[in-house]
């Protein structure tokens, strides 16, 4: 973290998301874990993949890139507070989050990055921010969320469209390429699945992908997860 802050002070980056991996011994069948996850932490993207020698389970809240009806969507999430134990505390955390200058400036920076990513594959003058600094609540946390949309320019392939937003700025930083270089230098292990893309491509030239967050890899009776945090100057 201190090294990342040195890069920020030097002007290499404005923000970087550093992550670390955790592991524990598997104590329950993977499918049972997934069923409980669906109840305890429901999210827009729920998935369970069984590849026999390993499994992937997840509950991701964040779109990576979506293409539906010629509309490209990126929906950055940045800024988090816990849910309150009652309505009063919930309102307190919401107000606190929306008045946190660090969270707001970081979200705005990542919103601009998302707008730039959509602009790479959208028709000229069609990129719009349709939601800005909205609070989205989940079972355990609340987030600041914005939504960027643009009209798809069909001169681009579906793969180009996915790569325009991959990896997401919300899991790398800004500027994105330099942040990725610093992540490669500072993180102790390769991210592999973490912060990658999970989703589907259909035959009618639409697709939907989420960021592999709140996602676990189960292999050799071990349970692996990874989590990250945005580092800024202060």
Catalytic residue among 75, 107, 143, 191: 143
Torsion of CA 208, 210, 212, 215, to 10 degrees: -100
First-to-last alpha carbon distance for the chain, in angstroms, is 11
Residue 131: strand pairing partners: 147
Catalytic residue among 214, 215, 224, 228: 214
| E-assigned strand segments in 8-98 | 15-25, 45-50, 54-60, 63-68, 71-74, 77-82
Q: Which of 140, 139, 133 is nearest to 103 (CA)?
A: 133
Which residues, including other chains, have CB under 8 Å from residue 74's CB and lie 6 or more apart?
63, 64, 65, 66, 114, 117, 118, 148, 165, 168
Per the annotation, the verdict on 214 as an active-site residue is yes
Catalytic residue among 58, 169, 228, 230: 230
Per the annotation, the verdict on 194 as an active-site residue is yes
Catalytic residue among 79, 93, 115, 170: 170
Catalytic residue among 194, 209, 215, 224: 194
Residue 117: C-alpha distances to residues 8, 28, 164, 207, 214 (Å): 22, 40, 5, 16, 23
Per the annotation, the verdict on 170 as an active-site residue is yes
Which residues, including other chains, have CB under 8 Å from residue 105's CB and lie 6 or more apart?
232
Residue 50: C-alpha distances to residues 37, 55, 107, 124 (Å): 16, 5, 35, 42
- Residues annotated as part of the active site: 143, 170, 194, 214, 230
């Amino acid at each position: 973290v201190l090294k990342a802050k040195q890069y920020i002070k030097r002007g290499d980056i404005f923000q970087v998301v550093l992550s670390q991996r955790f592991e524990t011994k598997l104590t329950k069948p993977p499918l049972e874990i997934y069923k409980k996850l669906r109840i305890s932490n429901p999210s827009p993207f729920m998935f369970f993949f069984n590849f026999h020698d390993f499994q992937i389970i997840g509950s991701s809240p964040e779109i990576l890139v979506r293409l539906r009806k010629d509309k490209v969507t990126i929906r950055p999430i940045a800024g988090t507070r816990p849910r309150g134990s009652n309505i009063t505390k919930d309102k307190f955390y919401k107000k606190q989050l929306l008045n946190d200058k660090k969270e707001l400036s970081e979200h705005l920076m990542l919103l601009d990055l998302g707008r730039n990513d959509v602009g790479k594959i959208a028709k000229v003058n069609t990129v719009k921010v349709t939601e800005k600094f909205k609070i989205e609540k989940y079972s355990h946390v609340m987030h600041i969320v914005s939504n960027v949309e643009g009209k798809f320019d069909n001169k681009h392939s579906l793969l180009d469209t996915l790569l325009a937003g991959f990896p997401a700025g919300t899991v790398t930083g800004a500027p994105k390429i330099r942040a990725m270089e610093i992540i490669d230098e500072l993180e102790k292990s390769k991210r592999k699945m973490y912060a990658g893309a999970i989703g589907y491509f259909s035959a009618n030239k639409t697709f939907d992908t989420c960021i592999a967050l709140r996602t676990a890899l189960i292999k050799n009776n071990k349970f692996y997860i990874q989590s990250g945090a945005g580092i800024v100057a202060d």
